[in-house]
């Protein structure tokens, strides 16, 4: 019995030793292999990481005038890991200060992605609210007033369609840009230049470490890591001239329309005006649902960039394409008169097609027909050209496709197409469609930016230049990290003879007005609109022999395009007087 007892005691000792060694081994394992992990877990309960917002880069015009920057602001963060309750006295007092319900505050806390992340209770707090909260809750670690930055557009509505606006990143964007370090609640560009160059404009946020105590008191019981400083974003320098942009928007006035001023040789955009406008500052903070509804239901569509995102029938400006197709295919001689002079109408089958001038234009050459915009002449040219050749020439001018301008939302438009007519009508499609197409009506739709590129190709000898708003980009130290340059989309291949005949006709448009001191070449257009009054076009460039600028004007529901030639002359006057693009302008005609 004694031996058995000793054996049991020995076994018990061995068992205790083994258990002890296991415990020691486990502690060593946790300390060596998982020590850092558990230290971080412990720290997460006593330290909150608060984002230090990186400054978003500025957007500036060609002269360095600020178009978009930032202003100081404050956000209110809830720091505790546990969710607040409705009856929490802090929540009750905050609801009174912020003028929102207790339920809304609790909801914002619960909706944060993680309990270990702060919840944003309010953004862009006015200073009087900051002072009131600091005075009332200055000693609690449950709340933190976070210095922040709010996007600011000092010129309000001016250039709004170019600049765009910012907003919180959505889930779809997070998926697409998962490699860029974006997180929920981050601010990104939503439209315009803010969207296109967001990856340059966005900096890299820093981190501040805030101690949290169980008593919710701001008592420094331990050291916190030093902050990780943010890295500012890059500055975007545009080709836009702020003064010219404002002048063009004032020229449009209360109308709906667009004006584009573009360099005829390299595609630099000096103004891209669209009206009606909106104030992008309203998107820099919280946007109430009713405001979104108001903007969405506004029949004037202020968010629509009419220069690139809306397509219109080109009207008589499309006669430049029809004339190109006829001359390049040898279907019309430069001094040829059509079989039927213009008597104000043209009979085709059992239909009558009218000229805009009921008195008629008589017998004209193709250059004169461009000058006087004679429909009857171009009806007959269209019958010779046919839809296939008209489609081919439209493609050579890159109509019906995006220009590639560095803004989101550009649309394609529509060009004449036999295939589309057959899909709609079958083989027995209306043969009179070519008459409508030849004068820019029917199934033809273009954007103002497409017409600017088309006119620039006539001005510069056939090169279709890609329009662009970006000039260059600088990093926070001022070093240039990107420089834009001339980019040729393609060449039209139009002969110099064809080009001269067309430009003679375009120059004649200005000579008819009585003076052409800017050596302009232009073409008017009045496009029928099934929803109301006609749309008015005037497309132009100047000077003819050393082209500098392309100016395209479109007014919805306007008068005849010729009525607005004086507006374009005023825009060119502004450019000459203000050195746009530079001071090397030829002397004006006496």
| Interval 187-235: pLDDT, tens | 899 999 999 999 999 999 888 887 766 555 554 545 678 889 999 999 9
Distance between CA atoms of residues 471 and 481, nearest Å:
11
Mean pLDDT (the chain, rounded): 88
Distance between CA atoms of residues 16 and 3, nearest Å:
20
For 273, 321, 323, 561, 569, the CA distances from 342, given in Å and listed in that order, are 37, 20, 17, 21, 30
Query: What pLDDT score does 406 carry?
Result: 97
Nearest to 50 by CA among 167, 144, 137, 130: 144
Q: Is domain 48-238 given the CATH code 3.90.1310.10 in the classification?
A: yes
| Interval 270-317: pLDDT, tens | 999 999 999 999 998 777 778 878 888 899 999 999 999 999 999 999
Residue 237 backbone dihedrals phi, psi, to 5 degrees: -105, 120
Distance between CA atoms of residues 213 and 251, nearest Å:
61
- Confirm if 506 and 521 have CB atoms less than 8 A apart: yes
Q: Which of 99-113, 311-325, 435-449 has the lowest mean pLDDT?
A: 99-113
- Alpha helices by DSSP H, listed for 197-239, are 198-201
**What CATH code is assigned to 242-282+305-577?**
3.40.710.10
Please tell me the pTM assigned to this model.
0.87
Q: Which sequence spans correspond to the domains of the chain? A: 48-238, 242-282+305-577
| Interval 230-280: pLDDT, tens | 999 999 999 999 999 999 999 999 999 999 999 999 999 999 999 999 999
Mean pLDDT of 135-158: 87
H or E element at residue 194? helix 192-196
For 370, 394, 395, 418, 436, the CA distances from 388, given in Å and listed in that order, are 22, 10, 11, 7, 14
C-alpha angle with apex 401: 390 to 377, nearest 5 degrees? 25
| Interval 558-582: pLDDT, tens | 877 677 999 999 999 999 999 999 8
Cβ-based neighbour number of residue 547 at 10 Å: 21
Cβ-based neighbour number of residue 478 at 10 Å: 7
């Amino acid at each position: 019995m004694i031996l058995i007892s000793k054996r049991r005691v020995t076994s018990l000792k061995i068992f205790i030793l083994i258990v002890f060694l296991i415990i020691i081994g486990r502690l060593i394992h946790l300390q060596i292999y998982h020590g850092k992990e558990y230290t971080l877990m412990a720290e997460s309960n006593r330290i909150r990481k608060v984002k230090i917002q990186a400054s978003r880069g500025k957007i500036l015009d060609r002269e360095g005038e600020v178009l978009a920057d930032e202003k100081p602001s404050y956000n209110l963060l809830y720091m505790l890991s546990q969710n607040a309750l409705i009856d929490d006295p802090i929540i009750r007092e905050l609801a009174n200060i912020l003028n929102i319900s207790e339920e809304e505050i609790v909801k914002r806390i619960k909706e944060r992605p993680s309990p270990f992340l702060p919840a944003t209770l309010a953004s862009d707090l006015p200073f009087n609210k900051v002072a009131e909260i600091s005075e009332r809750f200055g000693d609690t670690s449950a709340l933190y007033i976070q210095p922040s930055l709010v996007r600011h557009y000092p010129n309000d509505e001016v250039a709004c369609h170019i600049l765009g606006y910012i907003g919180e990143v959505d889930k779809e964007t997070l998926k697409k840009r998962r490699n860029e370090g974006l997180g929920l609640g981050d601010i990104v560009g939503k439209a315009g230049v803010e969207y296109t160059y967001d990856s340059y404009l966005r900096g890299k946020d820093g981190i501040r470490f805030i101690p949290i105590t169980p008593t919710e008191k701001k008592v420094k019981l331990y050291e916190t890591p030093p902050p990780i400083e943010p890295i500012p974003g890059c500055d975007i320098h545009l080709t836009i001239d702020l003064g010219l942009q404002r002048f063009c928007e004032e020229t449009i006035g209360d109308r709906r329309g667009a004006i584009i001023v573009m360099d005829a040789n390299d595609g630099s955009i000096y103004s891209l005006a669209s009206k009606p406008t909106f104030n992008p500052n309203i998107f820099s903070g919280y946007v109430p649902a009713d405001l979104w509804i108001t903007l969405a239901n506004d029949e004037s569509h202020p968010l629509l960039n009419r220069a690139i995102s809306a397509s219109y029938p080109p009207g008589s400006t499309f006669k430049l394409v029809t004339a190109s197709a006829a001359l390049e295919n040898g279907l019309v001689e430069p001094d040829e008169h059509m079989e039927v002079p213009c008597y104000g109408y043209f009979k085709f089958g059992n239909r009558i097609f009218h000229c805009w001038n009921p008195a008629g234009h008589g017998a004209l050459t193709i250059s004169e027909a461009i000058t006087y915009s004679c429909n009857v002449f171009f009806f007959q040219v269209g019958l010779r050209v046919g839809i296939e050749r008209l489609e081919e020439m439209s493609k050579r001018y890159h109509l019906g496709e995006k220009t590639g301008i560095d803004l989101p939302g550009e649309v394609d438009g529509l060009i004449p197409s036999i295939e589309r007519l057959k899909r709609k009508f079958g083989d027995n499609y209306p043969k009179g469609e070519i008459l409508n197409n030849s004068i820019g009506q029917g199934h033809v739709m273009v954007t103002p930016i497409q017409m600017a590129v088309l006119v620039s190709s006539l001005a510069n000898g056939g090169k279709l230049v890609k329009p662009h708003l970006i000039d260059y980009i600088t990093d926070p130290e001022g070093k240039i990290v990107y420089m834009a340059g001339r980019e040729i989309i393609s060449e039209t291949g139009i002969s110099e003879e064809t080009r001269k005949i067309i430009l003679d006709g375009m120059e004649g448009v200005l000579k008819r007005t009585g003076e052409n001191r800017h050596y302009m070449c232009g073409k008017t257009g009045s496009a029928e609109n099934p929803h109301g009054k006609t749309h008015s076009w005037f497309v132009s460039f100047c000077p003819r022999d050393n082209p500098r600028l392309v100016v395209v004007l479109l007014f919805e529901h306007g008068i005849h395009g010729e009525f607005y030639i004086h507006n374009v002359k005023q825009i060119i006057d502004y450019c000459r007087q203000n050195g746009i693009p530079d001071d090397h302008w030829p002397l004006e005609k006496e």
